[in-house]
Amino acid sequence: MDNIYEFGAKLLFSAVEWAKNLAIFNELTDTDQLTLLRASWAELFVVNAAQFGMPAHVAPLLAASGLHSTTPLPSEQLVVFMDRIRIFQGQIERLKTLQMDIAEFCSLKAIILFSVGHFLSALIS
């Protein structure tokens, strides 16, 4: 289970590092950079998961973490949690079917980072 959490943290950190390597992003104030990352971190995480090949077995393991945590989720919250895992896995699979190259992934991430609203939700719905 720790490997999955570690992989997730790496995906998130890689999104931040990727943004920091964009010249235009670095021209923004720290406040503006933080605002953009806060608004887009979830979508960037999903795109990174698709780009870097999040293992297909992640959804069952995440579900198991919700079932066997030290503070188990109440049944109604567990249903919501499981639904979110299913949606997450579906988003990753839909992005993988696009068979994007590195340049396309970077372009998509730039659009997400610098767009207001929920670009990815509209793209893969």
The tally of domains found in the chain comes to 1
Strands (E), the chain: none
Q: What is the pLDDT of residue 45?
A: 93
Domain span at residue 43 reads 2-124
Tell me the CATH number at 100: 1.10.565.10
Q: What is the pLDDT of residue 76?
A: 80
Cβ-Cβ contacts under 8 Å for 4 (sequence gap 6 or more): 58, 61, 62, 65
Residue 125 in this model has a pLDDT that exceeds 70: no
Binned at pLDDT 50, 70 and 90, residue 78 comes out as: confident
Q: pLDDT digits over 16-75, tens only?
A: 999 999 999 999 999 999 999 999 999 999 999 999 887 656 656 666 655 555 666 677
What is the average pLDDT score of the chain? 82
